[in-house]
Amino acid sequence: MFAATAAPARAIGRRDLGSLAPGMPADVVLWDDDLVVSYVWQGGSLTEPA
Q: How far apart are CA 19 and CA 23, in angstroms?
A: 10
pLDDT at position 50 is 62
Q: How far apart are CA 18 and CA 27, in angstroms?
A: 11
pLDDT tens by residue, 13-30? 988 888 777 777 777 888
Domain positions in the chain: 21-50
> Quick one: three-class SS letters along 1-50?
CHHHCHHHHHHCCCCCCCCCCCCCCCEEEEECCCCCEEEEEECCEEECCC
Closest CA to 20 of 47, 7, 2: 2
Task: Calculate mean pLDDT across residues 24-43.
Answer: 83
The predicted model scores a pTM of 0.50
Asked if pLDDT for residue 1 goes beyond 70, the answer is no
